[in-house]
Amino acid sequence: MPAESRFLAGTRLALTTFTTLPVRAGRIDRPVAGTAMALAPAVGALLGALLVGVLLLTAAVAPPLVAAGVTVGAAALLTRGLHLDGLADTVDALGSYRRDAAALEIMKKPDVGPFGVVALVVVLLVQAAALAELAGRSWPACVAAVVTATAAGRLGVTVACRRGVPAARPDGLGALVAGTVGPLALAVGAVAVALLAVGAVPDRPWQGPLAVAVALAVALLLLNHVVRRLGGITGDVLGATVEVVTTLVYLGLVLSG
């Protein structure tokens, strides 16, 4: 398959994996999956543009906290809630203190345990509170902040799928995408998100890139722990990474110094 066709197939796969946009998936294999995971931050930026539109339009007719709640709900709707589901399953598995197959079995269960519930509540509350604060900023800063956070969350997936990171199972999304992203694609994504972040806090242009860097550092620690406990990554782990990085970036963008 020509490189351009692989790019187009990867774009479709990225859109169908990370959003509910009505795009039909094409060829799916590991080379295409690698392209899709490299494009994840760009899809996150697109999603962020949609979400900031929801935030600003709702904030024009409702209190900021209401607008933030609507935006958090829209984010779940536009992603089928898959990242939140992955967060709950991953935290439940890690909270069980079991390893390998036993922990993976917990992740497969349809119910959500207490660790997962607490993780969901904390993440949604922090995101909503941060969005409420961002809604009161100038619209360029608000746009930059929301787009940065959502793009950074998907950059976390790019990081998780870098070469050398194994899959925890021989099948599923993790097996398809693990180890498919090369260093060049990872570097390009990181630089692009860092540039987006510069405008998120206009009077402190360093704060946005720093928030992204800290969030990704925490994601690396989490991923290293997950690989030790589970043997590799899964689709749930990727979803958890999205939510953790997104939430930490939002938090970093609203901290005042």
79: its two tokens:
């992603």
Dump pLDDT digits (tens) for 61-85. Answer: 999 999 999 999 999 999 999 999 9
Confidence of residue 249 (pLDDT cuts 50, 70, 90): very high
Quick check: 1 pLDDT over 50?
no
Residue 251 has a CB neighbour count (10 Å cut-off) of 17
Where does the chain have alpha helices with state H? 3-18, 30-38, 40-59, 64-78, 82-95, 100-108, 114-134, 139-160, 172-177, 183-197, 207-230, 235-254
Confidence of residue 87 (pLDDT cuts 50, 70, 90): very high
Q: What is the pTM of this model?
A: 0.94
Dump pLDDT digits (tens) for 22-31. Answer: 887 778 899 9
Looking at residue 22, its pLDDT comes to: 82
Quick check: 257 pLDDT over 60?
no
Q: Per-residue pLDDT averaged across 113-131, rounded?
A: 95
